[in-house]
Structure 1
């Protein structure tokens, strides 16, 4: 969705990924990762190199901030929390929507990179304020999904914004920083 052009195959085996058992030449996502490193002259395999006592090198964290439904309501607080943990934060505004795990998590794992997911809790959703806690979209989100894409689009994609609970989110940031320090 973000890429303006790339044709890899005429059959899709998996979203944004390569299934090496079904690819005729046996290519894999780690090979694709290596190809990207070589193509874009990326100098290292690890995202950042930490040296003991050197606090000048900060890993960069991108916050994808939407301008419409499903936007992050407290983006400034999230940025401050990430900076407290030690990240340099960059904010981007995407032109199109994504489905997190399918478009980010699965390809990342297939490339043998680390992926940390965060699922917003009920109290982080503005649907509680707009629809009420007893509405099926809030109380039993699966029921809305079972009603079809139209209802999902109406409620979860069209009316919901998120206000992250920083007490829940900061440990995720710390886990990410710990993973970076392991490299």
Structure 2
């Protein structure tokens, strides 16, 4: 199991993909494009139905575009587990070998991708760190911890795409008492009982409150049930 916090290094990812594209794509100069009747099959070029020869600078094989994937290059404050050590201990008691992924470990993208590809379960709070799910093997499980006020974003940005990538998806929606906002604002404040009213103030206000300003202390008894559900997907 891998637990992910922080964000992907978007700049490193862009450079990595750029280098792979350079190596794997085949650039064709305009003069290489000839009419099909002047090119034999031995030339290694494929004839199109309209009789012309098409030459492309590169291709993406085996991937489908589903929706936008946003990567944030800076580390996002908030969204941390205040009882992370206790969570890790519980995971290990269940039989998982836990590998905590921190932002500094993601600096070597190729190595980090290989490590994540060996994981059967990835656990993380809603945030850009979950974009690392693109490196999980097919059939793996993504467990998303949904903070207070971020139900819609969690489902649409990660829940749906996870299923489309061939992953099993499980989410854990925290109760208000598990959020640091509960102690900060009190049980009757609009931040707790009416998140929609905060979002109506604009994206900046909502982000400052629910993304940047919120940490979580997970209920271990309830979260244990979520992990057991994830294990069932793996045949345990």
Give the TM-score category using the shorter length: 0.5 to 0.7
Query: 3-state SS of the aligned residue for 2:170?
Result: coil
Over 3 Å counting, the alpha-carbon distance change for 1:123 and 1:90 in structure 2 is same
1:180 equivalent in alignment to 2:234? yes
- Offset at 1:113? 1.9
CA offsets per residue over residues 40-68 of structure 1, 9 Å max, x none?
Answer: xxxxxxxxxxxxxxxxxxxxxxxxxx884
- Offset at 1:13? 5.6
Over 3 Å counting, the alpha-carbon distance change for 1:90 and 1:69 in structure 2 is same
1:125 equivalent in alignment to 2:134? no
Q: Distance in 1 between matches of 2:178 and 2:168?
A: 25
1:84 equivalent in alignment to 2:138? no
What's 2:67 paired with? Answer: 14
CA offsets per residue over residues 69-115 of structure 1, 9 Å max, x none?
Answer: 22110001111111122211111124794264444322220122211
What's 2:150 paired with? Answer: none
Over 3 Å counting, the alpha-carbon distance change for 1:179 and 1:159 in structure 2 is same
Give the conservation status (yes or no) of the 8 Å contact 1:67–1:93.
no
Shift >6 Å, 4+ stretches:
none
Give the conservation status (yes or no) of the 8 Å contact 1:15–1:102.
no
- Offset at 1:154? 2.0
Q: Distance in 1 between matches of 2:178 and 2:97?
A: 24
The unaligned stretches of length 5 or more in structure 2 are 1-6, 19-59, 70-74, 107-126, 129-152
Q: Distance in 1 between matches of 2:68 and 2:172?
A: 20
Q: CA RMSD in A?
A: 2.8
Query: 3-state SS of the aligned residue for 1:137?
Result: helix
Q: Distance in 2 between matches of 1:111 and 1:67?
A: 25
Q: Which residue among 196, 200, 213 is the counterpart of 1:146?
A: 200
What's 1:61 paired with? Answer: none
- Please give the TM-score of this superposition, normalised by the length of structure 2: 0.48
Q: Distance in 2 between matches of 1:159 and 1:168?
A: 24
Size of the aligned set, in residue pairs, is 130
The unaligned stretches of length 5 or more in structure 1 are 17-65
Over 3 Å counting, the alpha-carbon distance change for 1:168 and 1:14 in structure 2 is same
Over 3 Å counting, the alpha-carbon distance change for 1:154 and 1:113 in structure 2 is closer
Is the strand fraction higher in 1 or 2?
2
What's 2:24 paired with? Answer: none
